[in-house]
Amino acid sequence: MASNEEILAGLAEIINEETGLATDAVELDKSFTDDLDIDSISMMTIVVNAEEKFGVRIPDEEVKNLSTVGDAVNFISQAQA
């Protein structure tokens, strides 16, 4: 079970790998689309990589509700519980 800090760090690595964004730019209150400029195809790639990294399932219909990095961290944390 990963802590929220570990989930944030893991997500930041995945986002960095996919988009080249610096890991410290990935903060809890940042919007994937408005702040991080992540398009829908990159978002799906990040979701699939996060599923593998954290051993969770993030249903497609749930992805649209993950507007900020914090939303994703909370969802993964709860899914792991």
Partner 1 sequence: MARKVVVTGLGATTPIGGDVPTLWQNALKGVSGVRRLTDDWVEQFDLPVKIAARLTVPAEEVLSRVEMKRMDPSTQYGVIAAREAWKDAGIENVDHDRLAVAFATGIGGVWTLLNGWDTLKEKGPRRVLPMTVPMLMPNGVAAAVSLDLGARAGAHTPVSACASGTEAMSVGQELIRSGKADVVMVGGAEAAIHPMPIAAFASMQALSKRNDDPEAASRPYDIDRDGFVMGEGAGALVLEAEEHALARGARIYAELAGTSVTADAYHITAPDPEGLGATRALKAAMFDARVQPEDIVHVNAHATSTPVGDKPEYTALKAALGSHVDNVGVSATKSQMGHLLGASGAVEAVLTVLAVHERMAPATINLDNQDPEIPLDVVTTARDLPEGDIVALSNSFGFGGHNAVIVIRSR
Please give the residue ranges that form the binding site for partner 1 (CB under 8 A): 17-20, 41, 44-45, 48, 51-52
End-to-end CA distance of the chain: 7
Output 24 or 52, the one with its CB closest to partner 1: 52
Min dist CB 10 to partner 1, Å, is 17
Min dist CB 64 to partner 1, Å, is 15
Output 29 or 52, the one with its CB closest to partner 1: 52
23: DSSP letter: G
User: Exposed (0-12), middle (13-18) or buried (19+): which is 42, by Cβ within 10 Å?
Assistant: middle
